[in-house]
């Protein structure tokens, strides 16, 4: 039931855009996105809820296709500070934020 992320890794130049995908084999009620910088703890970015509600982040947006059980994270005009590993998390039943995380997508932004 672990969500599947793609790509596993991506290398960008500053200013380029990237898309990270997250798909699940089961029905999704919400998708959570976190970013983890090297040697640090994961940090919450945003959540997308069934029905379209979401909490956004500056220059990082996301979509949630409930029918396809997929979410995509869009990083626009990437900055060096965007480097890190991005995880999507899906709720393991219920609504208490009990998450199963994907294996992550490592994003490297070069000058």
Partner 1 sequence: DAGVIQSPRHEVTEMGQEVTLRCKPISGHNSLFWYRQTMMRGLELLIYFNNNVPIDDSGMPEDRFSAKMPNASFSTLKIQPSEPRDSAVYFCASSPPRDGRFPYNEQFFGPGTRLTVL
Binding residues (CB under 8 A) for partner 1: these are 2, 32, 34, 40-44, 47, 49, 55, 87, 91-92, 95-104
Residue 16 CB, nearest approach to partner 1 (Å): 26
How many C-beta neighbours within 10 Å does residue 17 have? 10
Residue 13 CB, nearest approach to partner 1 (Å): 27
Residue 110 DSSP code: E
Per-residue buried b or exposed e for 45-61, using 16+ beta carbons within 10 Å of the residue's own CB? bbbbbeeeebeeeeebe
Judged by CB, which is closer to partner 1: 2, or 79?
A: 2
Residue 54 CB, nearest approach to partner 1 (Å): 9
């Amino acid at each position: 039931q672990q969500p599947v992320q793609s790509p596993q890794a991506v290398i960008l130049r500053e200013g380029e855009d990237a898309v990270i995908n997250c798909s699940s084999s089961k029905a999704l009620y919400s998708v959570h996105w976190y970013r983890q910088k090297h040697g640090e703890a994961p940090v919450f970015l945003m959540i997308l809820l069934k029905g379209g509600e979401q909490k956004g982040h500056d220059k990082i947006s996301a979509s949630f296709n409930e029918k396809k059980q997929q979410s995509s994270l869009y990083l626009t005009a990437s900055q060096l500070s965007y480097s890190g590993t991005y995880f999507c998390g899906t709720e393991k039943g219920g609504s208490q934020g009990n998450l199963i995380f994907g294996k992550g997508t490592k994003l490297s932004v070069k000058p």
